[in-house]
Structure 1
C-alpha cells in the first residue's frame, strides 16, 4: 500500500512494534483512507450509519455549489458546514421577535457557498428505525423506480436496459446508501455542484496508546486536494475494557463531470452518439459476403438514390436471434410481425419459408446499437425470399395473416372459444392466468433451437394455458358431473362428458380429446418429469417420435388449434347466447 501523507507520522514510527503499529493504524483509520471512497469508479457511499465491533462509521452528504473558489473554502477546515437536520423544512425567528419565518430547507448559504440537500436523515424517536432518504430530485432526474425486495432504485435507459443506480442496505440498525458513480456525477454536472460527504467515524482499542501520542490526547489535521479531516487519538475517556479511542471528523468531495450526459441534451445540441453495425445483404460472384451499413441516412430510398443499397433490402437471420427476447417477457414483446422493447423501440420482422427471420436493412438502424450487434451475430447470407403476407402488408398496405404461423392460429382459436364460452355461459372455458403466469401465453412459440430445455418450456406453457386451466366448475355445472378420481379422473375426462352433453359427436370428441391428452401426456412423461421409456412411448403414441423438437411442438399446437376450433363451433351451433 502506498504511503498516505495524511496519516500521522507517529504511526509510521512504530514499524519495529508490529502489534502497536496495527493498533495505531486501526485508530487512525488508515484502512479506511486507503479505500479512497470518494474516488470510487463504481459505487460511492453517500450515507452510512454502520457499527461493527469497535468501529462506528457515519456518513452524510449534501450538494455544494461548484462555483469558482468554493472548493478551497470547503476544504479550508474539517468542520461540518451543515447538520443532520439539513434538508428539512422548519420555522424560525430572529432574536426576540415574535414572528415565525418559514424555511423550506431546499437550500442555504454558508460562508458564501450555496448548499442543497442530497441525503435527508429521518429520525423517529426510536419508534421506528432511523433512515436515510435520497432527495426526490435525484430520483426524478433519472426517472428511477424503487424495487422493495432488492432495496434498489433502477432506471431504464433509452435502449431499454434496466440498471441499478442506488443500493440501500440495512442489517439490523446498520444502514448504507450507495449511488452509481456515473449517474451521480452526471447529476452533479447538471446541477453544477460537488457532492460533499461529511464523516464522523469512531473507533476503540483495548490497548493504551498514551505513551505513543505523548499524553492522553492528540489531534492531527489530515488534508489533501479533495478532503479535510481532523483525527483525535485519546485515552482520557475509557469505556468498558477499551482504553483508547479515536474520532475522525471531516469531509471529502466527489467531483462532477465537466458536462451532463449527452442523453439529456442531444435534442438541443444535436450531439448524439449513434453508431451503426453492418449486415450481410448478399454474396458476390466469388462467394464473399457483401455487407452494408444500416444507417438510413446513407441508404437509398424511394425519393433518393445514393448509389447504396435500398432501405428495404431484406436481411436474414437465424431464428435463434429471438431467444433473448422470449426469455424476458416483462421487457420484450415478440409477435409474428415484430419485436419490441417496452415503448422504446420496435423492429418489424417476418419468418420466411426457410424459417429465417427477415428484417428490412433500414429498420435495423432504428434499434439501439447494442441490439444491432446482437442481431449481427445471427446474420446469414440471403436464402429464399420474403413471404407473400409481408409483400401484401408492407407494399400493398393490405392486412394479411401469417399463413405459416401455427402459434398465430392457435391464439385465434383460443380467443374464439373463450368468446363463445362467455357468450353462452358468461365465463371463460379456460380460466385466466395469474399475472405471474401470463408469460406462458404471451411467449408461446415454436422452439427456436433443438434444445430439450426449450421444448419442455413450450410444452409446459401449452399445458398451463389449456388443460391445466380448464374451468372445472363450469364443466361440472353444465354436465352435471364431477371429478371423482375413478370414473372421471380429471378435467379432460370432464371436458369429454361436457362435450357429449352438448351433443358433440363421438368422432369430433375423439379429435378434441386426442389433442388434450397429447399435451397432458407429453408434459407429464417428459417436460415435468424425468424422460424415459414412458416418454418415448408417448411420442410414438401421438406420432411425434421421428420429428424434430420444433416439429413436435408444431404438431401439438396444430392439433390443439383444431380442437379449440371444434369446441367453439360446437358451442356456437348447440348453444343459445345469454
Structure 2
C-alpha cells in the first residue's frame, strides 16, 4: 500500500465525482469490510427545508438497518417514519431464521409506485427494477445486488424534484495499519471539507498503536430547477432524436434541421423499428442500406444484429408520421460510434460492399447468388423461382427481434418455403433410380449421392426443419407426432430463446449453400 492509497485519494475522487457510474448510473449503496480496509455507502431523502441542517454535518442521516420505518411509540401512536425530516430510500433487512441468517436490500415503495416499476427477481439479493413505457419496452432503473445498489440518475432526479427533496449519499471509508513506511512523513489531521455538493471529515491519527485514515460524510444530489417529467415524450418535438447522454445521465436530443449536412452525427434505433416495414412487404423495400417505399428512401445501416444506426440529417427525408414511428425505437448507446464495417466501407469510404453482415440479409444474398451459380453449372435452378404472388415472402424474411412464437413460425415457414419446398424435384430425379413414394428430401439426398456426396449432418438438419414445419408451424401440434418432438429436441426448444433457434436455422441453411457450392459448383 502506498501513501496515496492510505490517504484515500481514490475515494476522495469518488466523492468529487458524485458517485457517478458511466452511462448515467449512480452508486447509492455498497459495503465491503476487512481487517485493513472498509467501505460503506448508503443513502436517504432529506426534505428541502431541512437541507441546511444536514448538509453542514458529516454524520449520516440514516445508518444501515436503522431506517426508522413504521414505529409505534409509548402512547401507542403510529408513525410511518421515525424522523419527519429524513426519509429512508433503501432498507437493509436481516432475518435470523432456522436455516441461517437471510439478508437483502429493499427499495422504498414510494419510488417504485411513482414509476410503477416492474421487478424482475433472480432471488431476494439479486433484483432489477424496470420502467415500462407505453410500448411495453423495459428500461433499467435500479439494480440490486447482495451488497450493492445502483440507480439511473435521471429517474432519481425527477423523483426528488417532484417530491421537493434532496438525495443524500452517505459514505464512510477507512484504512487501518499497524505500521507505515518511514518516508511517508504522515501528518495527522481532523479536518472538515465541504462545498455545495458535499460535507465530510477526514481523520488521520494513531489510535492506540494503529494508524487510521477515516473519511465520513455526505454527498448531496440536488433536484432539477423546474418540475417536468423526463418520461413524458409529448414534451419533445417528434423531429428530435437522441445523439448521446450527458454527464448528468440526461439524454441529448437534437433536431435534424439544426445539424450541418457535413457532420457525421448518428442516432440509433432498436432493430424492431423495421418490423412495421417487414410486415408490409408489398409497400416497403428493405436492404442493407435503406428502407423505402414510393414516398421516401431512408438510408440506414441494416447490418448490425440489434441496432440500426442512421445519420441524423438523413431523418429529414421521413414524413412526420414516420418520424414518430422511428422515435419510439430511438435509443442511446454506450459507444461513441458504432457502425458495421460494410456500411462504413460503402457509405462513408465509397467502396462497394461484397455482401451484407446481418445473418438474414446474408442468407438472402447467398440464396440468390447460389441459385445463379447453380443455374450456370447445371442449366436449371436447384430452388425453383418464386411466383410473382409469392415474392413478398422473400422480401419479408428477417431475423425476429423478439422471443415471439408467432413471428418465429412465420419466418421459419418462409425459410422452408424458399429452400425445402422449392427444391427442383423434376430435375434432380433425372437419371436416378428411386424407391416408390420417395419424398423430396430423400430425392435430393439420392441426387447428391449420385454426385459422390454423403452429408448426413445436412440431411439431419433438413429433415428436422421439415418436421418442425409440418408438426408445429403448418399444422396444429400433436403429442403423437414423434418426428416433430424429435425436431423440438434437435433445436432444443425447451431451453433456448427463439431468436437463437432461428439464428441456427439461418446459419445451417447458409452452410447448406456453401457446402453444395464447394462440392458441386
Using structure 2 for the length normalisation, give the TM-score.
Answer: 0.51
Which residue of the partner structure matches residue 289 of structure 2?
Answer: 337
Q: How does 1:422-437 map to 2 (within 5 A)?
A: 422-437=375-390
Matched, 1:287 2:233: no
Which whole-Å CA distance do the structure 1 matches of 2:428 and 2:398 have between them? Answer: 29
- Equivalent residue in structure 2 for 1:317, among 269, 283, 295: 269
Q: How does 1:46-195 map to 2 (within 5 A)?
A: none
SS at 1:428 equivalent: coil
SS at 1:290 equivalent: strand
Which residue of the partner structure matches residue 550 of structure 1?
Answer: 499
Which whole-Å CA distance do the structure 2 matches of 1:399 and 1:515 have between them? Answer: 34
Could you tell me how far 1:363 is from its partner in structure 2? 0.6
Matched, 1:524 2:470: yes
Which whole-Å CA distance do the structure 1 matches of 2:401 and 2:430 have between them? Answer: 41
Structure 1's 388 and 417: CA in aligned 2 closer, same or farther, altered over 3 A? closer
Structure 1's 394 and 515: CA in aligned 2 closer, same or farther, altered over 3 A? same
CA contact (8 A) 1:515 1:563 kept: no
Could you tell me how far 1:401 is from its partner in structure 2? 4.6
Matched, 1:327 2:279: yes
CA contact (8 A) 1:525 1:538 kept: no
Matched, 1:512 2:451: no
Matched, 1:475 2:428: yes
SS at 1:456 equivalent: helix
Matched, 1:357 2:308: yes
Structure 1's 419 and 401: CA in aligned 2 closer, same or farther, altered over 3 A? closer
Which residue of the partner structure matches residue 35 of structure 1?
Answer: none
- Equivalent residue in structure 2 for 1:417, among 370, 384, 399: 370
Could you tell me how far 1:502 is from its partner in structure 2? 1.1
Which residue of the partner structure matches residue 64 of structure 1?
Answer: none
Which residue of the partner structure matches residue 347 of structure 1?
Answer: 298
Structure 1's 402 and 293: CA in aligned 2 closer, same or farther, altered over 3 A? farther
Which whole-Å CA distance do the structure 2 matches of 1:416 and 1:479 have between them? Answer: 27
Which whole-Å CA distance do the structure 1 matches of 2:243 and 2:355 have between them? Answer: 24
Could you tell me how far 1:523 is from its partner in structure 2? 1.2
Structure 1's 359 and 470: CA in aligned 2 closer, same or farther, altered over 3 A? same
Which whole-Å CA distance do the structure 2 matches of 1:558 and 1:301 have between them? Answer: 39
Unmatched runs of 5 consecutive residues or more in structure 1: 1-274, 303-309, 573-578
Alpha-carbon deviations, 1:272-329, whole Å to 9, x = none?
Answer: xxx961111111111111111122xx21243xxxxxxx3x211111111111100111
Which residue of the partner structure matches residue 405 of structure 1?
Answer: 358
- Equivalent residue in structure 2 for 1:441, among 390, 394, 402: 394
Could you tell me how far 1:461 is from its partner in structure 2? 0.3
Alpha-carbon deviations, 1:509-538, whole Å to 9, x = none?
Answer: 223213322321221222122346565542
Which residue of the partner structure matches residue 163 of structure 2?
Answer: none
Matched, 1:379 2:379: no
SS at 1:390 equivalent: helix
Which residue of the partner structure matches residue 503 of structure 1?
Answer: 452
Which whole-Å CA distance do the structure 1 matches of 2:308 and 2:249 have between them? Answer: 22
Q: How many residue pairs were aligned?
A: 280
CA contact (8 A) 1:322 1:448 kept: no
CA contact (8 A) 1:389 1:400 kept: yes
Alpha-carbon deviations, 1:177-227, whole Å to 9, x = none?
Answer: xxxxxxxxxxxxxxxxxxxxxxxxxxxxxxxxxxxxxxxxxxxxxxxxxxx
Could you tell me how far 1:548 is from its partner in structure 2? 1.6
CA contact (8 A) 1:420 1:571 kept: no
Structure 1's 277 and 511: CA in aligned 2 closer, same or farther, altered over 3 A? same
Which residue of the partner structure matches residue 560 of structure 1?
Answer: 509
SS at 1:394 equivalent: helix
Could you tell me how far 1:402 is from its partner in structure 2? 5.9
Which residue of the partner structure matches residue 259 of structure 2?
Answer: 299
SS at 2:317 equivalent: coil
Which residue of the partner structure matches residue 368 of structure 1?
Answer: 319
Which whole-Å CA distance do the structure 2 matches of 1:442 and 1:403 have between them? Answer: 15
CA contact (8 A) 1:276 1:294 kept: no
Worse-superposed segment, 432-441 or 550-559: 432-441
Which residue of the partner structure matches residue 348 of structure 2?
Answer: 395
CA contact (8 A) 2:238 2:327 kept: no
Which residue of the partner structure matches residue 95 of structure 1?
Answer: none
CA contact (8 A) 2:361 2:398 kept: no
CA contact (8 A) 1:333 1:341 kept: yes
Using structure 1 for the length normalisation, give the TM-score.
Answer: 0.46
SS at 1:481 equivalent: coil
Could you tell me how far 1:392 is from its partner in structure 2? 1.7
Q: CA RMSD in A?
A: 2.2
Unmatched runs of 5 consecutive residues or more in structure 2: 1-236
Which whole-Å CA distance do the structure 1 matches of 2:428 and 2:434 have between them? Answer: 8
Say which one has the larger Rg: 1
